[in-house]
Amino acid sequence: MVSKSKPAPAKNASTSKKAPETRGNGDELHQQAGGSHPALTTNEGGIVSDNQNSLKVGERGPVLLEDFVLREKITHFDHERIPERIVHARGSAAHGYFELTKSLKKHTTARILTEVGEKTPVFVRFSTVAGGAGSVDTPRDVRGFAVKFYTKEGNWDLVGNNIPVFFIQDAMKFPDLVHAVKMEPDRGFPQAATAHDTFWDFISLSPESIHMIMWAMSDRTIPRSLRMMEGFGVHSFRLVDADGKSTFVKFHWRPKLGLQSTVWDEAVKLAGADPDFHRRDLFEAIQGGQHPEWELGVQLFTEEDAAAFPFDHLDATKLIPEELVPVKIVGRMVLDRWPDNFFAETEQVAFCPSHIVPGIDFSNDPLLQGRLFSYLDTQLSRLGSPNFAQLPINAPKCPFANQQRDGHMQHHVPKGRVAYEPSSLQGDSPREDTRRGLRSFPAQEQGQRGRIRAESFADHYSQARLFFRSQTPFEQAHMASALVFELSKVETPHVREAMVGHFRHVDETLARRVADGLALDTLPPAPPANAPVIDMPPSPALQIIGKMKRTLEGRTVGILIDDGSDGAAIAKVRKAVESAGAVVKIVAPKLGGAKLADGKRLAANGQLAGTPSVNFDAVAVVLSSEAAAKLKSESAAIDFLRDAFGHLKAIALDEGGRQLFDTAGLVADDGVFGTKSVDAFVNGAKTRYFAREAKVRMLA
């Protein structure tokens, strides 16, 4: 039987609390009684009295359509996600400044490159290319390196990568490349990975991509930190001086902390241990006052210089070796402020290579020419309006005025009756400025119209050979192993064989190593080359290991402790490491830390099972004999040491740490130190022990 009695009133936010009193002017209405928190309002400013319950007919009745507060809240939530970037969706960014240290006034009128000492605000976004916004930070992938300069003459967007070349020569092929590298459309995987059939099928049929493949399979695409990778503008641009003379330029970013990469097994484990590893690393560095810094370098060359190169500089699959054209350092960039809101800034920032300032112009690089259209078109799709430039993160910080009007989300309220030019009805209407304005370099062009590829773009293998042969033996082994891993995921035999055939043009030894890793009985034939493959002088500047900076600055060292650990030994290691510029983090079996031998409790920064050694650049283990005996049966403790050793890191051990090290079945080498030799450990932690690698894994 259904009871007909009236239920007691429910005690909820509406009935159990007295609404705060409001009085006074409009500003006072936005303060809650008894506190400093602003009042919750609708988008139109109406104060919300109940943010817990919908407007209903009775306590258990239907919700009313007239509940505009509910409708506004839900509608806004439904539309919170804008379309993510098709590529470069996973990104992290920061604010900072650029300071010019050497004037380029001889080559350009761009004030940002002529005014020494001037600090220009910048916003920099780093990104992976292939994965979606929810993918991990550490896959094998190219990293975007995009810089927005808020100059006195307007915004300049230098939109590049951490690799100086690209997969394709013409923008016509970009949709094909991206469709090939993305998740296969019939199955929806793999995410953020090139190790699948469609990607390598495309590459096997696109010899122009082979040079970029060498870079993609190198340690460049598994960086240790966003703070420890280079950036490149990729294309040739023009600098134009006051007399209208042009000089070609390629832009380079050099990290102050030097280059540092992970090893592949480490990158894989980082993806599981901390999917946000790079983003967290950048955030913690900025918040901790270790502001990331890069030098800006330029390669300057003339038309006459370019004509003598054994390659075409307008081909985006080619680089200019530094031994041929040196890189001159002209400035520095420092990132010192994290965004206040990830969506409003990092997600809504809109980079366009077409955003330049007077004194900078484009080259005829066909990939660049396509990007000049594509980026603007993408921003219109993502941000929904040509007014995306009015968003605070995109707006210039210099005066700006034009005759553009209306459109979705128009934030400006232009005054006056004139919205055209020329005009005579309004004295303050903006006008063109022939003296200070953007001018295109008057290059003379001739030739027949047609869908053609320059013959000077035909050499697809010489620079791939240059890159591979310029690497250290360790880096060559990493590249060969990466190719074996990637191609072992390819199900189609003829695609695997075709790729090995291409590698024969790069280096016969490389082809044999990859073929052996794939268990091919014979080497597949090399495809015909469109141009003779030439041997260029090796370029040591293309290495990572060979030019790594021996430093602990910006790095992180983990110290594993437990109850009974020696506090003096821990303090000694910490002091030496921090004096060298690194951060120390304490790891213990329990997050609460450990009670040391002297009875004091030391708090932990991370719990052992959730803070593996992949998070650190070097590790120390300080344990009592009792703790070491206890941790022998803890796989996380054993893996802490095995992974640190396998990832070629320096390790410091006290007596208890040595017991755990022996239990892990490890044999000490030059990278293993006693905690009494702290100085030696700190010096050793400035590098990795690549000679150890042959002992811990089989490389191709």
Rounded Cα–Cα distance for residues 113 and 283 (Å)? 29
Report the domain count for the chain: 4
- Tell me, yes or no, whether 660 lies in a domain: yes
> Are 97 and 75 in the same domain?
no
Place of tokens 């240290």: 101
Place of tokens 């024969």: 504
- Tell me, yes or no, whether 407 lies in a domain: no
Tell me how crowded residue 272 is: count the other CB atoms within 10 A of its CB.
11
Q: Is 53 annotated as catalytic?
A: no
> Are 339 and 310 in the same domain?
yes
C-alpha dist (Å) from residue 321 to 143, 310, 486, 546 = 21, 11, 28, 16
Which of 499, 520, 546 is the last residue in one of the domains?
546
- Tell me, yes or no, whether 72 lies in a domain: yes
Rounded Cα–Cα distance for residues 617 and 584 (Å)? 10
> Are 156 and 280 in the same domain?
yes
The values of phi and psi at residue 692, to 5°, are -75, -20
Q: Is 107 annotated as catalytic?
A: no
- Tell me, yes or no, whether 257 lies in a domain: yes
Rounded Cα–Cα distance for residues 619 and 555 (Å)? 11
pLDDT-flagged residues of the chain (< 70): 1-35
What's the 3-state SS for 179-228?
A: HHHCCECCCCECCCCCCCHHHHHHHHCCHHHHHHHHHHCCHHHCECCHHH
- Tell me, yes or no, whether 123 lies in a domain: yes
> Are 542 and 561 in the same domain?
no
Which of 80, 114, 145 is the last residue in one of the domains?
80
Can you give the CATH number for the domain in which 101 is found? 2.40.180.10
Query: Of residues 95, 107, 155, 161, which has the active-site annotation?
Result: 161
Q: Would you say 119 and 160 are in contact if contact means Cβ atoms under 8 Å apart?
A: no
> Are 21 and 136 in the same domain?
no
Beta strands in 272-338 (DSSP E): 293-301, 328-337
Q: Is 379 exposed, middle or buried (0-12, 13-18, 19+ CB in 10 A)?
A: buried
Which of 338, 362, 390 is the last residue in one of the domains?
390
Rounded Cα–Cα distance for residues 638 and 663 (Å)? 8
* pLDDT at residue 435, rounded to an integer: 85
Q: Is 633 exposed, middle or buried (0-12, 13-18, 19+ CB in 10 A)?
A: exposed
For residue 264 the two structure tokens come to 């592949």
* pLDDT at residue 18, rounded to an integer: 39
- Tell me, yes or no, whether 420 lies in a domain: no
Among 507, 500, 502, smallest CA distance to 484 is for 500
> Are 541 and 570 in the same domain?
no
Rounded Cα–Cα distance for residues 395 and 607 (Å)? 44
> Are 133 and 41 in the same domain?
no
* pLDDT at residue 599, rounded to an integer: 96
Q: What is the pTM of this model?
A: 0.91
* pLDDT at residue 226, rounded to an integer: 98
> Are 540 and 597 in the same domain?
no
Pairing of strands 237-240, 360-362: antiparallel
Query: Of residues 88, 107, 235, 502, which has the active-site annotation?
Result: 88
Q: Would you say 660 and 638 are in contact if contact means Cβ atoms under 8 Å apart?
A: yes
- Expressed as residue numbers, the domain containing 688 is 552-696
Tell me how crowded residue 324 is: count the other CB atoms within 10 A of its CB.
17
Four-residue CA torsion sign, 487, 493, 499, 500 = positive
> Are 64 and 99 in the same domain?
no
- Tell me, yes or no, whether 440 lies in a domain: no
b/e string for 187-220 if b means 16 or more Cβ within 10 A?
eeebebbbbbebbbbbbbebbbbbbbbbbbbbbb
Can you give the CATH number for the domain in which 573 is found? 3.40.50.880
> Are 42 and 119 in the same domain?
no
For residue 406 the two structure tokens come to 């209306």
> Are 128 and 216 in the same domain?
yes
In order, the DSSP letters of 617-646 are SEEEE---HHHHHHHTT-HHHHHHHHHHHH
> Are 248 and 345 in the same domain?
yes
Rounded Cα–Cα distance for residues 432 and 450 (Å)? 35
**Long-range contacts for 302-309 (Cβ within 8 Å, ≥24 apart)?**
302/247, 302/248, 303/246, 303/248, 305/248, 306/248
Can you give the CATH number for the domain in which 494 is found? 1.20.1370.20
C-alpha dist (Å) from residue 675 to 302, 564, 573, 655 = 56, 16, 7, 9
Q: Is 161 exposed, middle or buried (0-12, 13-18, 19+ CB in 10 A)?
A: buried
- Tell me, yes or no, whether 130 lies in a domain: yes
